[in-house]
Amino acid sequence: MDIAIRAKNVEVTEQLRSSIEEKLTRVGRIVDGMQQAEVRLFEEKNPRISEREVCEVTLHGHGHIVRAKAGAPDVSVALDRVVAKLEQRLGRLKGKLLNRSHPRRNGSLDSPPALTTTDDDIEDEQDQSAIVKTKQFAIKPMTPEEASLQMDLLGHGFFLFTNADTSRAAVVYRRKDGHVGLIDAT
């Protein structure tokens, strides 16, 4: 596995570097095909935050991106917390991949409930924030179930994708009740 370590305001000692490489190599064995890991270490500037040392790891491979982020008072503890999150997310990915290859065990998500909008959901134009960050990325066609899995692996609340069934843009999102919703363009 190719591991890239970037640090900002954190000293990366040889011991820390070897610990990162050892733990990520072990975690990468959970799902075959994880080829690249990006590790970001930084320190929160706010003195009120007790867990100032932050470790963020992004794994690329097997057609998936898995990301985890954790903070702690010490860099090595933050690394341990991130590794625990990655182990959980990669275990979930491995289970989904195995279920996909065994059609008898294959279960799919229930059809998403109809979307409703209330007056509380609509923000006034005055309350809208300015755009402070823009991202561009390639979107590959996938099913809503695959997009839901990718959303969970990234730890995000929503995921934009091209629906393989309709060939149009769609979004899956995590609802407050814990279920997954689907917004499909018409």
Show me where the domains of the chain are located: 2-101, 109-117+135-186
| pLDDT the model gives residue 59 | 93
DSSP calls for 7-63:
EES----HHHHHHHHHHHHHHHTSSTTEEEEEEEEEE---TT-S--EEEEEEEEETT
| pLDDT the model gives residue 98 | 80
| pLDDT the model gives residue 123 | 44
Tokens of 155: 């730890």
Regions of the chain short of the pLDDT cut 70: 101-129
| pTM value surpassing 0.85 | no
| pLDDT the model gives residue 13 | 92
Residue 173 to residue 186: CA distance in whole angstroms: 18
Q: Which CATH superfamily is domain 2-101 in?
A: Ribosome hibernation promotion factor-like (3.30.160.100)
Cα angle 71-77-83, degrees, rounded to a multiple of 5: 85
| pLDDT the model gives residue 103 | 61
| pLDDT the model gives residue 61 | 85
Q: What percent of the chain has a predicted confidence (pLDDT) above 70?
A: 84
Say which CATH topology domain 109-117+135-186 has: SHC Adaptor Protein (3.30.505)
